[in-house]
Amino acid sequence: MTMSQWELPPIPSSSLDMETSVTDLSASSWSESFDTEISQERTADPATKARRQSEGQMTADQLMATWGRVGIQICEVAIELFEKSKKTLIGDGTYTGFVNAVLERVPNASTVEEGASSFGYLIYVQTGTSVTKRAADIMPGDIITLQDAKLKGHKGIQTYHQSIGEGTPVVAVVGEYDPKKSKVKAYQASQHVGNQTVESVSYRLEDLKSGSIKIFRVLES
């Protein structure tokens, strides 16, 4: 048999058609799925967007940018309401009530629900003397919570003991942070009868002996 008598076997056109059909279907399905995800993201309500941000990972630069758009305003409003609290009740008198009274006056800030355990993106966690998370610098306008916190240290030459957030966590707005002294100045609802309804307090993070301190960066709505 000569070489000229050899012929390639015919390739069924149906197999090519099937492969093309499967490929096209796969691409089409992926495209439709992608378009659906984009559509859902665009139409998601503010609370859902904030939850997705809080569950995701943000870089230090993104967190700083968020603070620049939201945190600065939160701090300014907290100081304003602190001054007004000398004459009137701010919020409903609870810790979260004061924080929400502040956030409601910042148009692009996400508010929180009573009893919520998250107030945005978690940037700092300390349990006892151990810092287990530090995602960004602590800034004015962040939200600090203290749960069953026992602090012990020195103020001047005096030794002090302080128990904060026993049972109900204390929630406050950070007004200032001194990294050298590890000290947070915060604004929180006052629970002292007869005083103005919002007070300015200071907490030294390195004095925490037990319990927990968490600090959140408020996200955009």
- 182 contacts: CB under 8 Å, gap ≥ 6: 204, 205, 206
**DSSP class of 169:** P
pLDDT digits (tens, 9 = 90+) for 79-135: 999 999 988 999 998 999 999 999 999 999 987 765 556 899 999 999 999 999 999
Whether residues 102 and 149 fall in one domain:
yes
List the one residue out of 170, 189, 169 whose CA is nearest residue 92. 189
Tell me the C-alpha distance between 148 and 169, whole Å: 7
Q: What is the structure's pLDDT at 156?
A: 82
Range of weakest confidence among 17-26, 145-154, 188-197: 17-26
Cα–Cα distances (Å) from 5 to 9, 10, 12, in that order, read 12, 15, 21
The tally of domains found in the chain comes to 2
Residue 1 located in a structural domain: no
Whether residues 38 and 65 fall in one domain:
no
Residue 164 located in a structural domain: yes
- Taking a C-beta distance cutoff of 8 angstroms, is the pair 146, 164 a contact? yes
Whether residues 75 and 160 fall in one domain:
yes
Decide: residue 88, CB within 10 A, 0-12 exposed, 13-18 middle, 19+ buried.
Answer: exposed
CA angle 212, 218, 220 (to 5 degrees): 155
List the one residue out of 75, 45, 55 whose CA is nearest residue 221. 45
Whether residues 136 and 102 fall in one domain:
yes
In the block, tokens 């151990």 appear at 130
The pTM of the full predicted model, rounded to 2 decimals, is: 0.73
Q: What is the structure's pLDDT at 69?
A: 95
pLDDT digits (tens, 9 = 90+) for 157-171: 899 999 999 988 999
- Taking a C-beta distance cutoff of 8 angstroms, is the pair 139, 60 a contact? no
Whether residues 97 and 18 fall in one domain:
no
Whether residues 121 and 213 fall in one domain:
yes
Residue 51 located in a structural domain: no
> Cα torsion at 134, 135, 138, 141 (round to 10°)?
-140
pLDDT digits (tens, 9 = 90+) for 31-59: 343 344 334 434 545 555 555 454 468 99
Residue 178 located in a structural domain: yes
Q: Above 50 in pLDDT, residue 205?
A: yes
Residue 96 located in a structural domain: yes
List the one residue out of 174, 102, 95 whose CA is nearest residue 137. 174
Whether residues 33 and 116 fall in one domain:
no
Residue 3 located in a structural domain: no
Residue 49 located in a structural domain: no
Residue 126 located in a structural domain: yes
Domain that holds residue 39: 13-43
